[in-house]
A = this chain, B = another copy of it.
Amino acid sequence: MELVTLDDVRAAGARIASVVVRTPLLPCPWVKTGRDRSADDRGLWLKPENLQPIGAFKIRGAHNAIARLDEQARARGVVAYSSGNHAQAVAHAAAAAGITAHIVMPASTPRVKVENTRSHGAEVVLVGDDEREAVAYEIVSERGAVLVPPFDHPDVIAGQGTIGLEIVEDLPEVDVVLVPVSGGGLASGVATAVTALRPNAKVIGVEPELASDAKESLRAGKRVDWPVADRFRTIADGLRSQPSELTFAHLRRRLHDIVTVTEDEIRSAVATLARKARLVAEPSGAVATAAYLFHGDELPVGRTVAVVSGGNIDPALLADVLATPAGEED
């Protein structure tokens, strides 16, 4: 299988530069880890992708995929099915490119997310929970529209990989990069860029314990299927997908390891990011930080970057997490 290359990621970077936010690395002088790493720890930086216009890194892959379409394809528009950040990412990218987007969402999607997607000018098609994929493919065949998948495409992987380019540009001596794993597009892209530019650096995936199918798959050397009902137990609603053949091939080759975090650790990391880093992160966006805060003894020591992948959290949940008394980090 042909994997995405550093050149692909660089080309993506040039394509999306004018529409995505060039997020900085944020040093964390407040950080303490679970074990005493003071002697050889070299610190933590956050890559705040929650600050992208739609509140998540997904905007990078969507923009790159759409920028790659030729004129005929653009005239027919794009389609995506998603109830999450990918929906808004495709809507935003289509609007920026001036093309039509149909987003197929389950009728059960919270109203706010439907409205946010519509606000970018996309046509939202509400369907039954099981019909998303079928309806999306109907639109593809009827209109000749192009389906933009959330992770299973080289252009999407290359787009997400631009985060890795920026990390190495801002911190050339980076040793460890922590990145959430769900469908694996983000982890594949970031690992591609970081390990190509800095072969000694280690990119480590992070999953919720309750949806750690990718960790089990890496251990088994082949993709292991977890039942949907199991994966949907985690509060990290953006991390319930499984890698595809394409992303799994990237993860096997380029990811150093996967560590898992508990639900309590995820909630605690959401609170710490708000209290200490002044960032609003959604649970899925906080898992990499949680791994650093609570699983330092499973990580290589060195200059570490945690990708804060998104910030679309229900305000009531954020309020609840903040109202919980702080642990020793305060």
Give residues in A with beta carbon < 8 Å to B: 21-30, 48, 50-51, 53-55, 92, 112, 116, 119-120, 271, 274-275, 277-281, 311-312, 315-316, 318-320, 322-323, 326, 330
Contacts and interface: CB of A to CB of B under 8 A. Distances in A.
Nearest to A23: B24
A278 B50 contact: yes
A277 B312 CA distance: 10
Contacts of A271: 315
A273 B54 CA distance: 14
A29 B120 contact: yes
B112 A330 contact: yes
Number of copies of this chain in the oligomer?
2
Nearest to A22: B24
Contacts of A51: 24, 26, 48, 277-279
A90 to B, nearest CB: 14
Contacts of A280: 274-275, 278-280
A318 B23 contact: no
Given A26-B21, A92-B29, A280-B278, A322 B315 contact: yes
Contacts of A330: 112
Kindly name the residue among A23, A28, A51 whose own CB sees the greatest number of chain B CB atoms within 10 A.
Answer: A51
A282 to B, nearest CB: 9
Nearest to A56: B278
A322 B92 CA distance: 26
Given A279-B279, A315-B274, A319-B319, A21 B27 contact: yes
A322 B270 CA distance: 15
A323 B321 CA distance: 11
Nearest to A26: B51
23 contacts: A21-B24, A21-B26, A21-B27, A24-B24, A24-B51, A27-B53, A28-B53, A29-B54, A29-B92, A29-B119, A48-B51, A50-B278, A51-B278, A51-B279, A112-B330, A275-B315, A278-B280, A278-B311, A279-B280, A316-B323, A319-B320, A319-B322, A319-B323
